[in-house]
A and B are shown apart, each in its own frame.
Chain A
């Protein structure tokens, strides 16, 4: 059940209305948990067993960590981490690992045939395992009390708006909100619905339209012109942003309607003045997770410059691997890490004190760098990514066809990207409080999404992680 489906719209209506009809929080938690199970099972029902298994392990691990002292605390934490990372290792990385072993043996002329796992990656596995790990780590650090109520804990991991593509939440933020009775509030409903509509707009009007260009250019690297390939790369930057941040907007909006506030995941990342600044604005819940649970425990910047650089590279390597079991993600992560190390000092010279033109140039160059790195992220393999980049710099002619049948669609795409950037830069947050304006905004967005949306039941890109 993707957010941009009719099934979700009906599901959301039923769950939200029912939620507000219940007068005690116990009933609400049960309702949300059952709804979240249905939501998750609508992808592949059997995979709920994997999710359920890790929830049970982490629930008891949390209780045992809290109850135990010293060495035993660590033991239960490691047990929980092994369960979570083990699930990731088996379902996400096993085939990648085996494939590489096969390649290695083949290279030395000794073909090997180890069995591969023949099952699809459970939807959102990386998201909910990371969220579960943040719970046990926080309990271990004594920053969060172990949750006694199993249903509340299960809901913390499974809360449907953020179950399959984040934001990756922290227990301190979500658990108290889930357990507290939060009354109906019309202002929150307005804000939540307006945000959901904005997310739908970004997904169906922008991202899925740009996907046509991206699919065309990435599928025709050798017969497309350099200009077409560059346009495809730039459009992919906006496609993945509108796709993922659109999902986050819908998730945050859906939670907000129920008076629950989730973590912001995006802060206008394409207005970043450096790569390190980009990572404080893009997928914030993941980068802060790596900062809190990997970078700082490794020593952060407290153990000298070389150690800092190593820690940065480790974090970006893991970040790349988190996105997928493919060398393209590894290279993408490492290149980001490398750029963060190389460019941090030079670009951290208080951007507000530079003049606007210089700032704009930094933003533009950061955007172009990020765009080129996305090529690794989008390509099937490193060879394909490299070929794509080479063809851009070949500055040659070829087909300028972008997958659009009319130039109007290209102009329209540029227009909606500009509208999206303008709105997020100059009208951030919830800017519609007046009822009449809200109704007008809702009607306008529904009509725009309906008439100009591209509906092909496209999944959100980040579901695959």
Chain B
């Protein structure tokens, strides 16, 4: 009798798990219900996105331990600049008090819309910051122009998410919403892993596997790869020559022309809407500066192109000199020193131009 009950339980449990993992909307609903501070919560990326994804967050070598924060600006000159920044996860947690000479500050991520009201009595400056790994996939298409130049459209999220979901589905209808394509959802294995194993109390077991493979084979799993000097975790896609997010994926002259033209179209649009200055800043992938051999030269090719209308804030030239100092070891991003360096460069540009007026 017990066997029969158990077998029915597992049949129902299995079907329910497959169904839940198949449905985008149910997954979205469940993810929002999970309290990530409790034992049943999702594994967080607090210790570095790559370190957490490959469960090497328990190794101090890769975990984020530095609690230094960005410095307050000590500039006391004229504040006649309105600064707009359209950026990505490299600029998470930035505040107005780090910038110099600004009267107002607006920052939006790529997944949000830049709502701007220009103050015509001030100098309006726009900084477009973008990670190198996303330059080709974002700016290689004309969609980005539509998105950037049309404030009514929502942007797609580029942030790491532990489980795959589709945005924009209303939760209220998920019990009635049936789509044939859902039954053969290609993300089902990620969703199953999330539903069956991504709980904080199970994570130490994943950590044990990761540690065994790290110490025994010097290897990380999933999307993370250990750098040749063993000091950094690198995002796998940035190394894969066949992936356009990679720093090693071959780049043609035609593609550079297309990228520059797209940047110029965006420049023309924002100039026409009243922006005084528009800057482009491409932040190099960690692998670009840590293992530059075979680099496809994407950043120099764009920045040094004489046809590019935007002015450049050249983070690449500065950061490549000491990657150990400016990049996190278990994360795809820079550390606070790298961020500070970039902020100093932006401040330099703002104050220099302001003082020269």
A-side residues, CB < 8 A to B, are: 5-7, 10-11, 13-14, 17-18, 20-21, 38, 41-42, 45, 404-406, 408-409, 412, 450-452, 455, 457
Contacts and interface: CB of A to CB of B under 8 A. Distances in A.
Contact of B14 (A10, A21, A38, A457): A10
Nearest to B219: A405
Interface string B188-201: 11001100100000
B307 interface: no
A7 B18 contact: yes
A6 B184 contact: no
Contacts of B180: 45
A14 B189 contact: no
A311 B4 CA distance: 56
Contacts of A451: 208-209, 212-213
A412 to B, nearest CB: 7
Interface of B: 4, 7-8, 10-11, 14-15, 17-18, 21, 180-181, 183-184, 188-189, 192-193, 196, 208-209, 212-213, 216-219, 221, 226
Given A38-B183, A408-B218, A457-B189, 19 more contacts: A5-B189, A6-B196, A7-B188, A7-B189, A10-B17, A13-B10, A14-B10, A14-B11, A21-B11, A45-B180, A405-B218, A405-B226, A406-B218, A408-B217, A409-B219, A412-B216, A412-B217, A451-B209, A452-B212
Nearest to B18: A10
A406 B192 CA distance: 32
A16 to B, nearest CB: 9
A5 B21 CA distance: 13
A452 B221 CA distance: 11
Top-6 shortest CB links A-B: A14-B14, A405-B218, A409-B217, A406-B218, A6-B192, A17-B7
A268 B312 CA distance: 63
B219 A6 contact: no
B7 A20 contact: yes
Nearest to A17: B7
Given A5-B189, A406-B216, A17 B18 contact: no
A409 B216 CA distance: 7
Contacts of A10: 14, 17-18, 192
B209 A6 contact: no
Nearest to B226: A405
A295 B188 CA distance: 44
Contacts of B212: 451-452
Contacts of B11: 14, 17-18, 21
Nearest to B216: A408
A251 B216 CA distance: 32
Contacts of B226: 405
B193 A406 contact: no
B17 to A, nearest CB: 6
B83 to A, nearest CB: 43
A42 B218 CA distance: 35
Nearest to B186: A42
Nearest to B223: A456
A214 B280 CA distance: 41
Contacts of B18: 7, 10-11, 14
Contacts of B4: 21
Contacts of B21: 7
B7 A404 contact: no
Nearest to B12: A14
Contact of A17 (B10, B184, B209, B219): B10
B14 A406 contact: no
A287 B10 CA distance: 40
A406 B217 CA distance: 5
A266 B226 CA distance: 38
B193 A6 contact: yes
Contacts of B218: 405-406, 408-409
Contacts of B181: 45
Contacts of B188: 7, 42
A14 B196 CA distance: 15
In the complex, which of the residues B17, B21, B189 has the most CB atoms of chain A within 10 Å of its own CB atom? Answer: B189
Contacts of A405: 217-219, 226
B285 to A, nearest CB: 20
B16 to A, nearest CB: 10
A45 B184 contact: yes
B221 A455 contact: yes
B62 to A, nearest CB: 15
Nearest to A453: B209
B8 A13 contact: no
30 contacts: A5-B189, A6-B192, A6-B196, A7-B18, A7-B21, A7-B189, A11-B18, A14-B18, A17-B7, A20-B7, A38-B183, A41-B183, A41-B184, A45-B180, A45-B183, A45-B184, A404-B217, A405-B226, A406-B218, A406-B219, A408-B216, A408-B217, A409-B216, A409-B219, A412-B216, A412-B217, A451-B208, A451-B212, A452-B212, A452-B213
A6 B217 contact: no
Contacts of A6: 189, 192-193, 196
B15 A14 contact: yes
Contacts of B193: 6
In the complex, which of the residues A6, A11, A17 has the most CB atoms of chain B within 10 Å of its own CB atom? Answer: A6
Nearest to B225: A405
A41 B180 CA distance: 11
Nearest to B212: A451
B271 to A, nearest CB: 42
A344 B333 CA distance: 62
B141 to A, nearest CB: 21
Nearest to A41: B184
In the complex, which of the residues A18, A41, A404 has the most CB atoms of chain B within 10 Å of its own CB atom? Answer: A18
Given A405-B217, A412-B217, A13 B192 contact: no
A383 to B, nearest CB: 20
Contacts of B8: 21
Given A45-B180, A45-B184, A13 B14 contact: yes
A10 B191 CA distance: 13
Nearest to A413: B217
A41 B188 CA distance: 13
Nearest to A457: B189
In the complex, which of the residues B4, B180, B196, B216 has the most CB atoms of chain A within 10 Å of its own CB atom? Answer: B216
B209 A42 contact: no
In the complex, which of the residues B4, B14, B196, B208 has the most CB atoms of chain A within 10 Å of its own CB atom? Answer: B14
A21 B11 CA distance: 10
B197 to A, nearest CB: 9
Contacts of A17: 7, 10-11, 14
Nearest to A447: B209
Given A6-B196, A13-B10, A451-B212, A42 B219 contact: no
Contacts of A11: 14, 18
A17 B14 CA distance: 10
A10 to B, nearest CB: 5
A145 B196 CA distance: 46
In the complex, which of the residues B4, B8, B18 has the most CB atoms of chain A within 10 Å of its own CB atom? Answer: B18
Contacts of A452: 212-213
A399 to B, nearest CB: 13
A446 to B, nearest CB: 12
B293 to A, nearest CB: 12
Contact of B7 (A21, A45, A412): A21
B139 to A, nearest CB: 27
A408 B7 CA distance: 43
